[in-house]
Chains A and B, each alone.
Chain A
Amino acid sequence: MRKIISGNEAIAIGAYRANASFASGYPGTPSSEILEYTKTFEDIKVQWASNEKSAFEQALGSSIAGRRSFVTMKHVGLNVAADSLMSSSYTGVNAGFVVVVADDPGMHSSQNEQDTRLFAKFAQVPILEPSDAKEAMGFMQYAFSLSEEYDTPVILRSTTRVSHTQELVYFDMHKLGGMEDKLLAKNISKYVLVPKNALLRHKKLLERNTKLQKLTNEIPLNKMEQGSLNVGIITSGVSYLYAKELLPEANFLKIGLSWPFPIDLAKEFAKNFEKVIVIEELEPYIEEQLKIADIKNVEGKKFFPQDGEFNLDIVEEGLAKASVLEKRHKKYFEVPKNLPLRPPVLCPGCPHRPIFDILHSLRVYVTGDIGCYTLGAAAPLSSIHTTVCMGASISMGYGIAKASQNHKIVSVIGDSTFLHTGIQPLIDAYVNNVAYTVIILDNSITAMTGGQPDAVSGFNIKNEPAPKVDLENLVRSIGIKRVFKVDQYDYKKTKEIIEQEVNTKELSVIIATRPCVLAPIKIKEMPYFVIVDKCIDCKRCLRIGCPAIGYKENKAYIIEDLCTGCGLCAEVCPTLAIVKGESNE
């Protein structure tokens, strides 16, 4: 078959060809589409989990049951599953088990830029780094057999550029041979990590490392490419493609299996050149391996940045600094300065907007979390004061409420994030009598990553009806008394309740219940318009930051085809200048 596919699609196809039969994950850009593609294969049981740790252990369990299994997440998701990773490295696997982690250099949609290769080294599990979609497919297939042969979890590291890039690939959809299911493994000394067993498993792990060390120096995934220039480049991932584009005549050592690092191979490669250049995104991982091994003629981060995503210009610049390339690409134009930025914004009609407008007007301190609603931190709503990681809104709100008695603290968290890691700190807040207000922004979907269902959606990844968790019952069952449900489109009532709760010295939970305007269905009601004569140019409606509201000639106006008819602007307009219906102008 000849088809243009993305890296994420390629990973799913690779898993299918390798006879994977179970997959779980938690959505996170840039990894989310892997399971979305995987769900199209009937032979693979696929589902979303509440968080990455749960997903990881589900897949590990399925591997122990004898089925090839994998789990997907983004780089920060691996932090949540780190506990499981570190120990599964000891237990090993039964059938092949692959951990697909997508890094986000450049932070297109993340809170940090951590480099998963360091996790692989830390946990001592092999990590594969494909450069493009074609390799992603092959590496994924290989990851399963590597996992089985060496009895270890294997990490497949993608990056945004690999996951979301599409390219022309030739492939077929036949499953590969020789990968039958296994029996459920019963082996207490292997899978029960009490100290006595774990000590032995640690020794096994070290033996495994010795074998892997040999493999990594021989495996074709780590390969030398001979060129005519007297320049040696060691590189991995997408950096390889940029370097190859710029200096096709150079000699390359392309690293595909980066832990354990092929140090003998690198030594053999490096001795042929006066100067060896390492090109790698984010951490100087390869460079450090080389320097620890006392290979003297290498440099990397001296020429290339340790932050941000690489591109041709950055790599060209670095190679020029290393004096192996004269800059060829010329920059002709500059983007005009002070061009207004176009930052992402909450959608027209987004049910989070009224809540942020209320919080803004009440001047409370708000701890935020990871999701669409993080956009509430942007002007003009400007009403989120912290965002750190999944679940942190409730725990940090707790800490702040404890430390600063006099401030009114509100934590906002989405339904998916609440179920991910928000519920535990809420339990802590309850049993420790911490008084503050938690608002669960329940739009019944994981919206930021493109609308994946979660445990309150009522349907699953395959769009089939599914049981759903009732958030109100869940919260009440903790023992919390002050639990309120509000319809945030009913602005006045919602404001009343929030105001009442931030002024009550008790723990309270407010569940704001309106579905996302984009998923699973696009909501579009009759639009609103501004009666020009009634508009007094107070700009109150502009302060809610709805992208459907514009402003010209001292009057507000509404862009009809963007407006979803939520009515928030009409609620806040002091002169009732905004009304439902189409303008007759």
Chain B
Amino acid sequence: MNKSIIFCGVGGDGIITASNICAVALMRANFDVKKSEVHGMSQRGGSVNAFLVYGKKVYSFLPAKGSLNYMFASEKLEALRNVDYLNPDSKLLVNDRIVPIVGANIDEAQIEESLKSYSLDLKLINFNDLAKQHNMQKAINTIMLGYFSKIIEIDKKYFIRAISDNLSPKLIDINIEAFEIGFNLQ
């Protein structure tokens, strides 16, 4: 059976890079992989998402609504925006933060309550705070990926290689360190 992941967040916050690293890790783990994302207007601070489908043989780039296995969300509101892709068995990793929207009032408590009401396997962790503690504000998503690799049960060695494959040399060490921080988080 193929599995699928959604990566969602706000334009410019590194969602595409995170999904690229994950795609390469899955390739290294010997899966067929297809990834789909939308560029364009969404890069200007709008909602962004990328889908990753992997398995023995993948046809469609996109999963169907209600069929997703995992979610990687860098923001709570954006996680909520994509719940129609999920089902009661989906597992979610959500960064516990809200990015404001120009001209909108966001009721953070309600967003959170709403998210929890789906009774999903939800891990809500503030990765921004965690990154700040370690002085790694530029590698928040990589810390998240470290934790996420355990949720999707893919050996971390594939991720470490994917980080080396995907990032420029001067960023590799710090991102591997960031990955380990996430991986070792309980």
Chain B residues whose C-beta falls within 8 Å of the C-beta of A546 in the assembled complex: 102
Chain B residues whose C-beta falls within 8 Å of the C-beta of A164 in the assembled complex: 36-39
- With A312-B60, A345-B46: A340-B34 Cβ-Cβ less than 8 Å: no
Minimal beta-carbon separation of A357 from chain B (angstroms): 13
Chain A residues whose C-beta falls within 8 Å of the C-beta of B83 in the assembled complex: 333-335
Chain A residues whose C-beta falls within 8 Å of the C-beta of B11 in the assembled complex: 344
- Mask for A537-567, Cβ within 8 A of B = 1, else 0? 0000010011100100000000101000000
Minimal beta-carbon separation of B130 from chain A (angstroms): 16
Cα separation A168 to B105 with both chains bound (whole Å):
42
- A379 contacts B103, CB within 8 Å? yes
- B45 contacts A335, CB within 8 Å? no
- A335 contacts B24, CB within 8 Å? no
Number of A-B contacts (CB under 8 A): 154
Number of interface residues of A (CB under 8 A): 54
Q: Residue on B with the closest CB to A133?
A: B34
- A380 contacts B102, CB within 8 Å? yes
Give the contacting residue for A244; candidates B59, B67, B84, B86; CB below 8 A: B59
Q: Is B40's beta carbon under 8 Å from chain A? A: yes
- A242 contacts B40, CB within 8 Å? no
- Mask for B55-90, Cβ within 8 A of A = 1, else 0? 000111111111100000000011011111011100
Tell me the B112-147 residues at the A interface (CB within 8 Å): 114, 118, 137
Q: Is A375's beta carbon under 8 Å from chain B? A: yes
Q: Is A109's beta carbon under 8 Å from chain B? A: yes
Q: Is B109's beta carbon under 8 Å from chain A? A: no
Chain A residues whose C-beta falls within 8 Å of the C-beta of B45 in the assembled complex: 342, 344-345, 347, 547
- A329 contacts B64, CB within 8 Å? yes
Q: Is B43's beta carbon under 8 Å from chain A? A: yes
Chain A residues whose C-beta falls within 8 Å of the C-beta of B39 in the assembled complex: 29-30, 108-109, 164, 450
- With A316-B64, A547-B100: A344-B87 Cβ-Cβ less than 8 Å: no
- A160 contacts B84, CB within 8 Å? no
Q: Is A161's beta carbon under 8 Å from chain B? A: yes
Cα separation A340 to B81 with both chains bound (whole Å):
9
Q: Residue on A with the closest CB to B110?
A: A336
Q: Is B1's beta carbon under 8 Å from chain A? A: no
Q: Is A582's beta carbon under 8 Å from chain B? A: no
Give the interface SS of chain B, mostly helix, strand, loop or mixed: loop
Cα separation A329 to B86 with both chains bound (whole Å):
11
Cα separation A164 to B11 with both chains bound (whole Å):
16
- With A336-B80, A545-B103: A2-B60 Cβ-Cβ less than 8 Å: no
Chain A residues whose C-beta falls within 8 Å of the C-beta of B62 in the assembled complex: 161, 242, 311-312
Chain B residues whose C-beta falls within 8 Å of the C-beta of A342 in the assembled complex: 10, 45-47, 77-78, 81, 101
Q: Is A490's beta carbon under 8 Å from chain B? A: no
Q: Is B161's beta carbon under 8 Å from chain A? A: no
- A313 contacts B61, CB within 8 Å? no
Q: Is B185's beta carbon under 8 Å from chain A? A: no
- B104 contacts A165, CB within 8 Å? no
Cα separation A389 to B84 with both chains bound (whole Å):
35
Shortest beta-carbon contacts, A-B, top 10: A109-B40, A344-B44, A344-B46, A340-B104, A329-B64, A245-B60, A312-B64, A245-B59, A29-B40, A344-B41
> Beyond the given A336-B114, A542-B103, could you list 15 further A-B residue pairs with CB under 8 A, ordered by the A residue number?
A4-B24, A29-B39, A166-B35, A167-B61, A168-B32, A168-B34, A312-B63, A316-B64, A329-B64, A329-B65, A340-B77, A342-B81, A344-B44, A347-B45, A546-B102
Q: Chain B interface (Cβ within 8 Å of chain A)?
A: 10-11, 20, 23-24, 27, 32-47, 58-67, 77-78, 80-84, 86-88, 100-106, 114, 118, 137
Give 17 pairs: A residue, B residue, CB < 8 Å, sorted on A: A4-B20, A4-B27, A30-B40, A108-B39, A109-B42, A167-B61, A238-B61, A329-B64, A333-B84, A335-B83, A341-B104, A342-B77, A344-B41, A344-B45, A372-B44, A448-B40, A546-B102
